[in-house]
């Protein structure tokens, strides 16, 4: 059994994306929008969410590679560069909106 931590949301779902070798399935990289979502989610882990650390490393490497190659559509390339520059959870507009929604 894997040593899985439980934080605000369960990281259990991420174990489904790991292959028999214990590494994330490289097939994940075919879905760029999904990788962007995983990148953003991986920032929300705690210090014990080791699988999120792995996911963050994978997504950073892949997104940086895509940004450097410039092989994807311009609007997606812009989203990738923006995410790498400043993840959404650090975006001031989102923080302000979240505070407004919690009222």
CA-wise closest residue to 24 among 79, 62, 78 = 62
Give the burial class of 32: count Cβ atoms within 10 A of its Cβ; 0-12 exposed, 13-18 middle, 19 or more buried: middle
User: Does any domain span residue 78?
Assistant: yes
Number of domains comprising the chain? 1
User: Does any domain span residue 3?
Assistant: no
Q: Are 39 and 60 in contact (CB under 8 A)?
A: yes
- Provide the CATH number for the domain around residue 95: 1.50.10.130
- Reported as a pLDDT band with limits 50, 70 and 90, residue 67 is very high
- Reported as a pLDDT band with limits 50, 70 and 90, residue 8 is very low
> Per residue in 37-59, pLDDT tens?
888 888 877 777 788 888 888 88
User: Does any domain span residue 2?
Assistant: no
Residue 51 CA neighbour count, 13 Å, CB half: 21
Instruction: Find the domain containing 79 and state its range.
Output: 12-102
């Amino acid at each position: 059994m894997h040593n899985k931590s439980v934080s605000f949301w369960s990281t259990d779902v991420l174990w489904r994306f790991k292959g028999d070798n214990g590494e994330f399935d490289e097939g994940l990289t075919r879905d760029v929008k999904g990788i962007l979502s995983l990148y953003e989610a991986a920032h929300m882990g705690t210090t014990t969410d080791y699988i999120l650390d792995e996911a963050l490393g994978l997504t950073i490497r892949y997104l940086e590679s895509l940004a450097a190659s410039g092989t994807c559509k311009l609007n997606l390339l812009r989203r990738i560069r923006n995410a790498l520059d400043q993840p959404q959870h650090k975006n001031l507009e989102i923080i302000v909106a979240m505070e407004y929604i919690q009222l």
